[in-house]
Amino acid sequence: MYQPPHFIETDRETLLGLIRARPLGLLISATENGPVADPIPFLLDTDIGEQGRLRAHVARANPQWKLIASQPEVPVLVVFQGSDAYVTPSWYETKRETGKVVPTWNYAIVQVRGAARIMDDREWLARQIRDLTASREMQFAEPWAVDDAPPPFVDAQIKGIVGIEIDILSIDGKWKVSQNRPEADRRGVAAGLDEQPDAAAMAGLVRKYGKLDG
């Protein structure tokens, strides 16, 4: 990932926080015929290994798990996408001063590289689906649990999936949130994003990383 110095994010809790908040990662494996990628929801275990571990499962019919099983020493890449937003030059004070501006795109992203292995064990898979479900259902007033479904149905579903564990080898973060712009431009971007639908999170990042009071 291209990393200009002013966009690099190294704070571990910030990086892990994005993974927890946006757990749908893009799992990418290299093959002799080119890369293979699948969007998969992940669980993050931070108390395992030096840098933590990712857990996920895929449909047994998904060929990517067989690719991973056939080359266990080859690292995989998982990409987690955070907030993003288009930035128009019209929000820049520099546009009015010089006109020397161009559009851009702000975003926060985490890339994880790690050693993957296949977990085809019923107990592991049962724990995986319960943990993943609980992690997402906790936001609801009446959370659904795996055990709410009939046991024979759950057993049939487990037979149709395969687990993946990824021991994290490296985590890289990039927060491109207008921090390279002059203060007046940063304020203009934050104010402009305030007026856009679904852009509140990015407006907050521009203010935080741009060291703006409000």
- Tens digits of residue pLDDT in 54-90: 999 999 999 999 999 998 777 899 999 999 999 999 9
Q: What is the mean pLDDT of residues 176-199?
A: 96
- Could you please state the CATH topology (level 3) that the domain comprising 5-207 is classified under: Pnp Oxidase; Chain A (2.30.110)
Contacts of 9 (CB under 8 A, 6+ apart): 15, 108, 173, 174, 175
pLDDT (0 to 100) of residue 19: 97
pLDDT (0 to 100) of residue 48: 87
Quick one: how far is CA 45 from the chain centroid?
15
pTM of the model: 0.93
Q: How far apart are CA 179 and CA 146, in angstroms?
A: 44
Q: What is the mean pLDDT of residues 153-164?
A: 96
pLDDT value at 214 more than 70: no
- Tens digits of residue pLDDT in 12-38: 999 999 999 999 999 999 888 889 999
